[in-house]
Amino acid sequence: MDKILILDFGGQYTHLISRRIRELGVYTEILPGNIPFSEINLSSVKGIILSGGPSSVYEKNSPKCDKRFLESKIPILGICYGHQLLVYILGGKIEKGVAGEYGLTELEIIKNSPLFFKLSKKEIVWMNHQDVVKSLPKDFEIIAKTNYSEIAAYQNLKKKIFGVQFHPEVSHTKKGVEILKNFVFKICQAKKEWQTKKMVEIIKDEIKREIGNEKALLALSGGIDSFVAAILVNSVSKDNLLCIYIDTGLMREEDKKMIKKLSEKYKFKLKIINAQKEFFKNLKGVIHPEEKRKIIGKIFIKIFERIAKREKYNILIQGTIYSDRIESGQTKYSSKIKSHHNVGGLPKRSFLKIYEPLRNLYKDEVRRIAKDLKISKEIIKRHIFPGPGFAIRIIGEVTPKKVAIVRKATKIIEEELKKANYYYKVWMAFPVLLSIKSVGIQGDKRSYKYPIVLRIVESEDAMTANFTKIPYSLLEKISQRLTNEIKEINRVVYDITNKPPATMEWE
């Protein structure tokens, strides 16, 4: 199958380049920017994209790509840092800009290029850089400029090397998708071969290879990713698979019931482990979010290791998807935001081999596969719930009492959003329980109780998010129910922060 390689230099939008191209129906793979040329099988690579990144090319330790890629005759597109890196490697000049060019900018196209096919002479693009390209290597020509960047885009038609200083992958660049389309189809001549059916075939083949005759445990979390992983593995390796659901005491009310039902419907072997006591005991007195995640990750692996030793399993399968890996700093040059427990939170050493069949998929791709597998809409569109569960929605120490408050609040919030037809329109809606108390008046009496933070966010892929502007009347309804029905709560506040600068979860 034709594919586009993306060499990652740590840019915030590397994943977006990949998503946009997959949305066009072409498979992509993201690899570390400095991967040696010799490690890559180029047979189906139709094009290479060099991503953006936070470094400056002239810094001593800045990431560079293997020069041999540039001699491979495969079409190349450099974006932002990638645009500068190509010039730097090929003998042009990069300088620190005076101020920087950030946000929407007018781009003037000054020369015909297949990259800009069907674009107007002037287009709006999105910039985010300080360094600028000052002079081009031999045989390269300028194809576009802006007020700040004399060389905002260039090409070498013979070598099929192109560079753009702006970001075509972000939606603010109005014709960004057109530019990527031009690169992928017109220049690289890639075929549209990335469809759900193909994804499933590839994953199943890999599962056969990875598991073979070995016995594998699969960690079910209650979310769609681990269900899809379970169904796919079960369909090719039924006898070797045992799915485990660990009841941590930190999950939503209906999770356990739903998992049982699904295991019956899809006929996978399921074992439920009641481990509430172990989790609460180990979380006692723990306040720091990363510590909570690490502790939860450790108990998880301990339980899996226990079962594995006893029943002779040696592989642990998880439903980790691509965005989990990025946010846990698992890609080479990106920074660590949080240790998602199903990846970064796990201890480094275990005798279990970790296998993640969905590791290269985005959420919308997993959802498409789930739809094909006839998983019901309620489950596919159910809001994401973090692996560490309510532990990271309780600020401060996690106790069974506090979990009960948050669990009840979650139910109320979800019920009201469903009634108002909002539930399926948003990415997530949840309560966060704070550790402070405030004064209120209830039934003519002074009260001194916890506040709940109501967080409702919209997102395309979890990498960025906006708080949802829901009607005041609905906020009021939720607030009334939370304070009326949960006796420990006397105040509700709405979180009006986007991601960035905040994250969706509070911890």
Options 4, 49, 428, 429; binder of ligand XMP; rule CB under 6 A = 428
Residues 462-481 that bind ligand XMP (CB under 6 A): 462
Shortest spacing between CB 177 and ligand XMP, in angstroms: 25
Integer Cα distance of 129 and 114 in angstroms:
25
Tokens of 390: 């309510």
Shortest spacing between CB 292 and ligand XMP, in angstroms: 9
Integer Cα distance of 156 and 218 in angstroms:
49
Per rule CB under 6 A, count of chain residues that contact ligand XMP? 17
Catalytic residue among 167, 188, 327, 414: 167
- The binding track of 342-361 with respect to ligand XMP, each residue x by CB under 6 A or -, is x-------------------
Integer Cα distance of 124 and 56 in angstroms:
25
Nearer to ligand XMP, 57 or 465 (CB): 465
Tokens of 250: 């930190």
Beta-carbon contacts of residue 243 (< 8 Å; ≥ 6 apart): 217, 218, 220, 230, 234, 263, 268, 269, 270, 271
Residues 436-465 that bind ligand XMP (CB under 6 A): 462
Q: Which residues pair with 457 in a beta bridge?
A: 428, 467
Catalytic residue among 15, 65, 80, 83: 80
Shortest spacing between CB 392 and ligand XMP, in angstroms: 6
Amino acid, res. 430: F
Amino acid, res. 418: K
- In 280-408, the DSSP E strands lie at 315-317, 353-355
Residues 252-311 that bind ligand XMP (CB under 6 A): 293
User: Is position 169 annotated as part of the catalytic site?
Assistant: yes
User: Is position 243 annotated as part of the catalytic site?
Assistant: no
Nearer to ligand XMP, 20 or 293 (CB): 293
Nearer to ligand XMP, 207 or 462 (CB): 462
Integer Cα distance of 57 and 95 in angstroms:
9
341 binds ligand XMP (CB under 6 A): yes
Nearer to ligand XMP, 11 or 388 (CB): 388
Shortest spacing between CB 334 and ligand XMP, in angstroms: 13
Query: Looking at residue 137, what DSSP letter applies?
Result: P
Span interacting with ligand XMP, options 47-55, 166-174, 334-342, 468-476, rule CB under 6 A: 334-342
Integer Cα distance of 286 and 472 in angstroms:
36
User: Is position 341 annotated as part of the catalytic site?
Assistant: no
Nearer to ligand XMP, 65 or 246 (CB): 246
b/e for 255-291, b at 16 or more Cβ within 10 A?
A: beebbeebbeebebebeeeebeebbbebbeebeebee
- The binding track of 133-162 with respect to ligand XMP, each residue x by CB under 6 A or -, is ------------------------------
Q: Is 497 exposed, middle or buried (0-12, 13-18, 19+ CB in 10 A)?
A: middle
Output the CA–CA distances (angstroms, integers) from residue 252 to 205, 410, 482, 483, in the order listed: 34, 8, 17, 20
Shortest spacing between CB 176 and ligand XMP, in angstroms: 24
Catalytic residue among 123, 169, 327, 507: 169
Residues 374-403 that bind ligand XMP (CB under 6 A): 384, 386-388
Integer Cα distance of 410 and 342 in angstroms:
22
Instruction: Please check whether residue 427 is in contact with residue 455, taking contact to mean a CB–CB distance below 8 angstroms.
Output: no
Shortest spacing between CB 350 and ligand XMP, in angstroms: 18
Shortest spacing between CB 485 and ligand XMP, in angstroms: 24
Question: Which residues make up the interface to ligand XMP (CB under 6 A)?
Answer: 293, 327, 337-338, 340-342, 384, 386-388, 428, 462, 499, 503-505
Active site residues: 80, 167, 169
